[in-house]
Amino acid sequence: MPERGGSLHLADRLIKLDGTTNFRDAGGYRTSDGHWVRMGEIYRSDALNNLTAADAAKLRRLGIRADYDLRTASERASAPDVVPSGVRYHVADVLAGSDMTTTMPTTPEAAVRMMVDGEKFMVSGATARTAYRSVLAGVAARHGHGVLYHCTAGKDRTGWSSAALLTALGVPRATVTADYLASNTYRASANAAALAQLPPAQAAVYKPLLDVRTEYLNSGFDEVADAYGTFGAYLKRGLGVDGRELRDLKRELLVG
């Protein structure tokens, strides 16, 4: 209540680990009908290959029970997850079999186009739909608490996973977008360090690939509208989330 004083800091969404930069709670958001998405249930992250023993212990304390790896086979082979004991590991390869990562752009404009096209693939691509169906089914399962999903940077494939989940739960689009764009904040230092190692012309091409931008996320929602008409139809026909599973999602994750 702003008229009665300043804000009250209740919790940090970012969870600080030695081996990650973008590990955060996916919950804590208000839905359009006044509910809240539970915190301490679903988590999103960048790659988990650099987790320390202390990090693994923290994941156990958080109650992580399932790890959905959204990365490609080559990413998983070169940087395998450090999975704490007792955590079920699932491969949910969003880009499996696609050529999205085989040709690098040579101009900033081409880099932006690559990101926009990639976001569209996350909606309509067959392997992407299979991957996100797997994630949502795991979240919707009774006692499906402690679910973690991640990719390499925790921003694009992971970003759409959170956007789809939060939208399904009834979180407003503006809030979903703010959550998506938060990766720019959490990854700012890592991104700046990566760009500083490159010649200026190459850095200009690479920067759109490191960013998350509203136009990227919007292209995903535009693809939903173009391919399915409504988000509900995308959930049902694209991801196989029927009315019962949607009710299960909301029952498990909404409070208030």
Question: Residue 224 in 3-state DSSP?
Answer: helix
Strand partners, 89: 67
Tokens of 39: 């915190």
* Residues 6+ away with beta carbon under 8 Å from 239: 129, 132, 133, 136, 164
Pairing of strands 147-150, 66-69: parallel
Catalogue the active-site residues.
151
Q: Are 123 and 94 in contact (CB under 8 A)?
A: no
Angle subtended by helix axes 157-169 and 108-124, to nearest 10: 50
